[in-house]
Amino acid sequence: MKKRRILAALLAGIMVVSTGCGSSSGGSGSSSGSGGSGEVTITIPSYKTGENVGAVFFEPQVERFNEAYEGQYRIELENVSEDTFNDQMKQLAQQNALPALVQGGDKEWLKNVVFPNGMAYDISGWLEEHPEIKELMLDDAIDYCTEDDGAIYSVPLATVRPTGFFYNSSLWDVADVDLSALTMDEFIGQLGDQKIAFSTAENAWVVSLFLTALIADEEGGAELLNSGIDEKITDLNQTAIVNSVEKMQSLLQNNASSNSIGAAYPDAANAFMSNEAAVISNGPWMSSDFEESNSKNWSNGFDGADVRAALFPNQVGIAQTRSYGEWWINADASEEEIECALAFIEFIYTPEELEAYLLAEGGDAPNLEYSDDFVKQQSETQVLADLAADTTEETIYVPNILDVIPSSVANSDLSRLLPSLADGTLTAEEFCEQLTTAAQEASKE
């Protein structure tokens, strides 16, 4: 049963956080306190800025926080490329210049370096003092983020955003078909000769999502993917993966949109929104691309109103519920900076902000009882309503293949080898063998 939280009570709770006065004196070079005004300011390096799709929600959210705490706390954003973000966080750590509030980072670095070495602030006591926030968090996330000694360094997630796919109903009319209830073979049969917008460049994002769904459909595939959350998969010669790669090869050869090979994600999105492909996989955050306000990005008669969404066959949604959250606090930050960081965390975990986040980027907050206004607004965005309807207690969550193989393989080797898979230079077995070699070499580093 979802429990309703009273926003007014939460906001009142926020205001009892101590006001920081004077200059901040923490060791984080990317944070600063203001002078005589008493307003504590922290600067956050973030890739959810500028043209990044995450900026559409995140930048206004930061502004709402700044307005709510004007004169007391302020957060400023420093633009960092998503491709280089993890490396830059590691460099800042080496320079003892991490910001007071850190937006994630490479999972293995957090697990093996940051948390064991006391670089992060333990929020377990703070969460016990704020049960209204802790009760909103996913049980799996709390369990994963809790260390053996009970410390919690990464802020557990309260939302899950299962990724499925979008399809253009004007090109592919399957209104009477429950796509998520099909097997993958049945889905491919329904697809026929319709085109999928793929991307093979960068981290092969769209291909990786479909490949993940293919693996999850295989016997033992979902279990295999979930096993990679705790220990990276370095043997990609396993039957579930080889079979899935063979099906992916067929899709690349027979159903890929014409620009797929060598395409980055924006190229794939453009193919979908120009009626050159009937299907694209991406997270619910893409829903805003189909709004009339973004029609300048449409062409060839594409109409966002025709787009529908579904989870993958066999009710598979790509998401990690056992994971670190988006935020952690630098243990070397000053007391005032930590108070500011905690105020921001409390702010983004209010029911109002969680609902705003879900409306903007989709997903579900299982432990939050939604307001009537939220339910009404969600139903007005067709693709979000579709995904909400598909997300049930029967949904099977699996992590993206990119998250359970060594990062160098995910960010480089996969995209490097995909063109050879697509043109038949490599068989599925040879493709998996080369990825296995790269993964095992990476695991020794």
Q: Of the candidates 68, 80, 141, which has an alpha carbon nearest to the alpha carbon of residue 353?
A: 68
The predicted pLDDT at position 235 comes to 98
Question: Is residue 296 within 8 Å of residue 322, measured between CB atoms?
Answer: no
> Which of these ranges, 109-123, 209-223, 259-273, 360-374, has the smallest mean pLDDT?
360-374
Percentage with pLDDT > 70 across the chain: 92
Beta bridge mates, 397: 317
Query: What is the reported pLDDT for 18?
Result: 34
Residue 84 has a pLDDT of 87
Q: Is the pLDDT of residue 241 over 70?
A: yes
- Residue 387 Cα to chain centre, angstroms: 16
Q: Model confidence at 227, in pLDDT bands (50, 70, 90)?
A: very high
3-state secondary structure of 346: helix
Q: Which helix (H) or strand (E) segment is 74 a member of?
A: strand 73-79
Whether the predicted pLDDT of 10 surpasses 70 = no
Who wins on pLDDT, 329 or 105?
329
E-strand stretches of 246-340: 279-282, 307-310, 316-318, 328-329
Q: What is the pLDDT of residue 444?
A: 83
Is 414 in a helix, a strand, or coil?
Answer: helix
Place of tokens 């797929």: 260
Confidence bin at 33 (pLDDT 50/70/90): low
* Residue 19, amino acid: T
Residue of 283, 254, 303, 323 whose CA lies nearest to 57: 283
With tokens 């009142």, the residue in question is: 12
Q: Which residue is associated with the tokens 């300048």?
A: 296
Instruction: Look at residue 137 and tell me whether its pLDDT is greater than 50.
Output: yes
Pick the CATH number of 7-160+322-370 from 3.30.300.30, 3.40.190.10, 1.10.10.10, 3.40.50.300: 3.40.190.10
CB 243 within 8 A of CB 272: no
Instruction: Decide if pLDDT at 208 tops 90.
Output: yes
Q: What is the DSSP letter of 19?
A: P
Question: Is 158's pLDDT higher than 50?
Answer: yes
As given in the structure block, the two tokens for residue 382 are: 């067709």
Q: 372 CB contacts (<8 Å, ≥6 apart)?
A: none
According to DSSP, the residues that pair with 62 across neighbouring strands are none
**pLDDT tens-place string over residues 34-71:** 444 689 999 999 999 998 888 999 999 999 999 999 99
Q: Is the pLDDT of residue 107 over 90?
A: no
pLDDT of residue 12: 34
pLDDT digits (tens, 9 = 90+) for 276-298: 999 999 999 899 899 999 999 99
Q: What is the pLDDT of residues 88-99, one digit of tens each?
A: 999 999 999 999
Pairwise CA distance, residues 124 & 145, whole Å = 10
pLDDT for residue 25 = 35
Residue 378 CA to residue 438 CA, distance in Å, equals 43
381-385, long-range: CB < 8 A, 24+ apart: 381/287, 381/291, 382/305, 382/307, 382/308, 382/309, 383/166, 383/284, 383/287, 383/290, 383/307, 383/308, 383/309, 384/284, 384/287, 384/309, 384/358, 384/359
Domain 164-318+390-444: homologous superfamily in CATH = Periplasmic binding protein-like II (3.40.190.10)
In the DSSP assignment, the letter for residue 171 is T
Looking at residue 84, the DSSP 8-state letter turns out to be G
Give mean pLDDT, residues 245-251: 98
Mean pLDDT, the chain, whole residue set: 90
Q: Which residue spans of the chain are classified as CATH 3.40.190.10?
A: 7-160+322-370, 164-318+390-444
Q: For residues 189-218, give the mean pLDDT.
A: 96
193 Rama sector, left if φ>0, alpha if ψ -120 to 50, beta otherwise:
alpha
In the prediction, which pLDDT does 55 show?
92
| Residue 287 amino acid letter | S
Q: Are 232 and 404 in contact (CB under 8 A)?
A: yes
C-alpha separations of 19 from 15, 77, 142, 336 in Å: 9, 21, 28, 7
Please report the pLDDT score of residue 105 as a whole number: 85
CA neighbours closer than 13 Å in the CB half-sphere of residue 82: 11
Question: Running DSSP on this structure, what letter comes out for residue 395?
Answer: P
Question: What pLDDT digit, counting tens, does each position of 315-351 carry?
Answer: 999 998 889 999 999 999 999 999 999 999 999 999 9
Q: Are 333 and 118 in contact (CB under 8 A)?
A: no
Q: Is the pLDDT of residue 193 over 50?
A: yes
Residue 37, pLDDT score: 67
pLDDT in tens, 375-416: 999 999 999 999 988 988 889 999 999 999 998 999 999 999
Q: What percent of the chain has pLDDT over 90?
A: 80
41 vs 366, more confident: 41
Q: What is the pTM of this model?
A: 0.76
Q: How far is CA 322 from CA 116, 140, 346, 369, in A?
A: 19, 5, 21, 22
Three-state SS for 273? Answer: coil
The residue among 371, 24, 401, 120 whose CA lies nearest residue 233 is 401
Q: pLDDT confidence of 23, banded at 50, 70, 90?
A: very low
